Amino acid sequence: MKFGGTSVADGASVSRVVDIVESCHSAGNEVAVVVSAQRGVTDQLITMATELANNTDSSGIEPFINSLRIRHGKVLLESAEDYADEVGILVEEQLCNLENILNAVHNLRELTPRSRDYIITFGERLNSLVVSAAFRQRGIPSETLDGCEAGIVTTPNHGEAMALPQSEEKIQKRVLPLLADSVPVIMGFMGCTDKGVVTTLGRSGSDYSAAIIGAALDADEILIWTDVDGIMTSDPRLIPDARVIPSISYLEVMELSYFGAKVMHPRSIEPAMNKNIIVRVKNTFNPDHPGTTIVRGERRDTRVVKALTYIEKVAMVNICGAQMIGRPGVAKAIFSQLADRDVNVMMISQGSSEANITLVVEESQEETAREALSALVRQGMVRQVTTNRDVCAVAVVGSGMAGAKGTGGRIFTALGNGGINVMMISQGSSEVNISFVVRQEDGPRAVRILHDEFHLSEEDDE
């Protein structure tokens, strides 16, 4: 079971978390728990570390440490009174450690990817102490393990590390023996390299931690507990009448999360899918709601389109030139230039004239992409590379689209009728997803129009 930041914000929510775990555990199930940081703490750590590396002023450190002390101390007292002193000392140790590293970052004016990763795991380090104490307060034996202790061995790419196969055996060795008579609380979002260097798994990475651990333990189920009733037809903050999807396939969730739906980390499906483990997304604040079940999904869906999502911070890269026509190797050159600079390409489209290729990359990688491709302009391989940041990508997801004639027509007619100009289109060969690019300001309205067009607010008639 993984509990997100909103599930552990105060004593009352932590006590709900303990209720949920207790009722599952006392029914005879073995439970391992993964927790992420309290909401907003990871963002604060990132901001603080970045500012300290760039600023002469370090006066923010003390109030920041103090705010973490107050915040975690309060939840600790509310949910594990008897352990407040004992665990309070451990919290202080973590805070002292954090304060020292933040001072070091400031003194050196240097924040390497390695130190950044270490710093941003402190939200999980603090929170896991509190949650584990709350279990003990209820009489459930519990200890905390950081991601590395739990056995998650990762690639060394800081900020986006991936679990390596050797993790499985390590997790089994370390975590399995604890399950018989305790509920271990594992810090999400982090692992370490085989040399023991701390890494993080990407933002929202605790979902991925839960999947890695659940898969390694051959769990019956992986439960992602959050603050909404399940995976919804669209982001409920954007579409207030978005509806909970009862059942969705691994592939569909992968597409949704890849395109920005914040409910789950994009890589968190793969470990579960490899072992065919059911993933459930449920609401900590409404545990009786059945939530969303994520399964392999052989069943043909009655719905053509299941969910919509959009991602704001992207940039479109347009590469053109008549010299590209009929010339083998241009695409190879483009993608290897980008790969050499670690630019992740999210969408690709090529006109049949071959005179242009359009790509979508993360906004933060726009400049790197432009620089990388300018080498090809200098070599005369392409004529021009232009970029546009004023765009967003929308993804329409549903396995029912495969083979359903006219879905594309419906999508683009509805958008056209709404006066929205589509700048680029891409469809994966799995046909689970049609994605397109529109002007940034048109994004929310495009999602609204399609949510209505495919009647996504209406209940399933199955």
Q: Does 189 bind ligand ASP (CB under 6 A)?
A: yes
CA 162, CA 153: separation in Å to the nearest integer?
8
Residue in the shown chain whose Cβ atom is closest to ligand ADP: 4
> Candidates 2-10, 181-189, 372-380, 383-391 — which segment interacts with ligand ADP by CB under 6 A?
2-10
Q: Does 283 bind ligand ADP (CB under 6 A)?
A: no
Q: Does 263 bind ligand ADP (CB under 6 A)?
A: yes
Instruction: Tell which one of 69, 170, 174, 262 touches ligand ADP (CB under 6 A).
Output: 262
CA 50, CA 157: separation in Å to the nearest integer?
19
> C-beta of 77: minimal distance to ligand ASP in Å?
23
> Candidates 15-23, 130-138, 155-163, 203-211 — which segment interacts with ligand ASP by CB under 6 A?
203-211
Q: Measured from the CB atom, is 154 or 204 closer to ligand ADP?
A: 204
Instruction: Tell which one of 73, 191, 205, 266 touches ligand ASP (CB under 6 A).
Output: 205
> Candidates 198-206, 339-347, 372-380, 417-425 — which segment interacts with ligand ASP by CB under 6 A?
198-206
Instruction: Tell which one of 56, 139, 237, 329 touches ligand ADP (CB under 6 A).
Output: 237
Q: Measured from the CB atom, is 88 or 205 closer to Mg ion?
A: 205
Q: Does 5 bind ligand ADP (CB under 6 A)?
A: yes
CA 272, CA 257: separation in Å to the nearest integer?
15
Q: Measured from the CB atom, is 4 or 73 closer to Mg ion?
A: 4
Cβ-Cβ contacts under 8 Å for 164 (sequence gap 6 or more): 153, 154, 155, 194
Residue count of the chain, please give it.
Answer: 462
With beta carbons less than 8 A apart as the criterion, state whether 289 and 231 touch.
Answer: no
> Candidates 60-68, 148-156, 205-213, 398-406 — which segment interacts with ligand ASP by CB under 6 A?
205-213
Q: What is the 3-state secondary structure (H, E, C) of the chain?
A: CEECHHHHCCHHHHHHHHHHHHHHHHCCCCCCEEECCCCCHHHHHHHHHHHHHHCCCCCCHHHHHHHHHHHHHHHHHHHCHHHHHHHHHHHHHHHHHHHHHHHHHHHHCCCCHHHHHHHHCHHHHHHHHHHHHHHHHCCCCCCEECCCCCCCEECCCCCCCCECCCHHHHHHHHHHHHHCCCCCEEECCEEECCCCCEEECCCCCHHHHHHHHHHHCCCCEEEEEECCCCCECCCCCCCCCCCECCEEEHHHHHHHHHCCCCCCCHHHHHHHHHCCCEEEEEECCCCCCCCEEEECCCCCCCCCCCEEEEEEEEEEEEEECHHHCCCCCHHHHHHHHHHHCCCCEEEEEECCCCCEEEEEEEHHHHHHHHHHHHHHHHCCCCCEEEEEEEEEEEEEECHHHCCCCCHHHHHHHHHHHCCCCEEEEEECCCCCEEEEEEEHHHHHHHHHHHHHHCCCCCCCCC
Q: Measured from the CB atom, is 36 or 199 closer to ligand ASP?
A: 36
> C-beta of 23: minimal distance to ligand ADP in Å?
20
Identify residues 95-134 at the interface with ligand ASP (CB under 6 A).
123
Identify residues 287-346 at the interface with ligand ADP (CB under 6 A).
307, 309
Identify residues 148-187 at the interface with ligand ASP (CB under 6 A).
none
* Amino acid type, 52: L
> Candidates 35-43, 86-94, 132-140, 179-187 — which segment interacts with ligand ASP by CB under 6 A?
35-43
261 binds, among ligand ASP, ligand ADP, Mg ion, none (CB under 5 to 8 A by kind): ligand ADP
What are the C-alpha distances in Å from 68 to residues 132, 244, 303, 339? Answer: 18, 34, 46, 39
Instruction: Tell which one of 193, 204, 268, 435 touches ligand ASP (CB under 6 A).
Output: 204
> C-beta of 76: minimal distance to ligand ADP in Å?
19
Q: Measured from the CB atom, is 34 or 449 closer to Mg ion?
A: 34
* Interface map 184-223 toward ligand ADP (x if CB under 6 A): --------------------x-------------------
Q: Does 36 bind ligand ASP (CB under 6 A)?
A: yes
What are the C-alpha distances in Å from 224 to residues 3, 24, 34, 274, 353? Answer: 6, 14, 9, 18, 46
> C-beta of 447: minimal distance to ligand ASP in Å?
24
Q: Does 204 bind Mg ion (CB under 5 A)?
A: yes
Q: Does 5 bind ligand ASP (CB under 6 A)?
A: yes
* Interface map 339-358 toward ligand ASP (x if CB under 6 A): --------------------
Instruction: Tell which one of 121, 199, 234, 407 touches ligand ADP (CB under 6 A).
Output: 234
Question: Which residues are near ligand ASP by CB under 6 A?
Answer: 5, 36-37, 42, 123, 188-189, 203-207
Binding site for ligand ADP (CB under 6 A): 4-6, 204, 226-228, 231-232, 234-237, 261-263, 307, 309
Binding site for Mg ion (CB under 5 A): 4, 204
